[in-house]
Amino acid sequence: MDFLTLTARDGATVRICHQGAHVCSWIPAQGTEQLFLSKRTEFREGVAIRGGVPVIFPQFAGLGTLPKHGFARTAPWSLVQQGHTDDGAAQAVFRLKENIARLTIWPYVFTAELAVSVVDNLLQIALSISNTGDTSFHFTSALHTYLAVDNVHQARLRGLQGTYYRDSLTGTDRCHESAELLQITDETDRIYANVPDQLCLQQAHQHLHINTTGFADAVIWNPGPAGAVKLSDMEDDGYLRMLCVEAATIMRPITLAPGESWSGSQSFMVSKL
């Protein structure tokens, strides 16, 4: 597997796998690892990486006729730009386009770009999709971010109170979130609709501020102990050390006419306590 490591001038780093333009590691300057990566992930061509930030496109989960989560996360992306900004941030842009194999399962012409930037205690990931063909298409998408936690039962997520979600475990829609601080106690798989653009994952030692643009939804996922043992590429206790907080556009798929583009981003800022 080919990887690119970006290092900001202040020492912050991010590691990206060319397969999927998959962010596998983020360590802020003078900080610790902020992304969960399973010790059992295979790093094998065509196999999804368990952890980090998988790019989900053009289909979320099984909500369509494509393989689960679409093809972008297991496709080879091309590095088209790399360098530093004036403020010392390290950045890179990866690109994915249609090819004959992808056209056989999703017959549309497109360009996807993922831009990654890291500096100090900040990580920014932006996804853009352009319709470069002559036929309209629609898609669902997500940045399937696995955040590292010391203990998921002790972490709290602020910002979802008052929103509504689909419980993917039961198939129940329009569930109301009443908790000011969401606590994970067991297997959780929810799609929150029309979420605020700012969330905060709170732990005893730090707060992780999560900002999104362009993505209307958020997916909150943890397999719990029973779900984790069913995942061959996750250690049995891995669920304790991760929480997926995913920027997503699912409830209302994005439609692009020929020549149109869409973009969305998710950024993270660490504040130590």
Which residues belong to the active site?
A: 144, 246
How far the first Cα of the chain sits from its last, in Å, is 37
The set of residues, in sequence order, having a beta carbon less than 8 Å from that of 145 and lying 6+ positions away, is 35, 52, 53, 244, 245, 246, 247, 266
E strand residue ranges, 28-68 = 55-56
In the sheet with 206-213, reading across from the earlier edge strand, the strands are 78-84, 90-97, 110-119, 122-131, 261-272, 206-213, 198-202, 156-158, 181-182
The dihedral formed by the CA atoms of 177, 206, 127 and 60, expressed in degrees to the nearest 10: -40
- Asked if residue 19 lies in contact with residue 45, where contact means CB atoms within 8 angstroms, the answer is yes
**Distance separating alpha carbons of residues 190 and 169, to the nearest angstrom:** 8
- Answer positive or negative: Cα dihedral of 106, 79, 122, 40: positive
Work out whether strand 206-213 and strand 261-272 pair parallel, antiparallel, or are unpaired: antiparallel
Helix (H, G, I), strand (E, B) or coil at 11: coil
What one-character DSSP code corresponds to residue 35? B
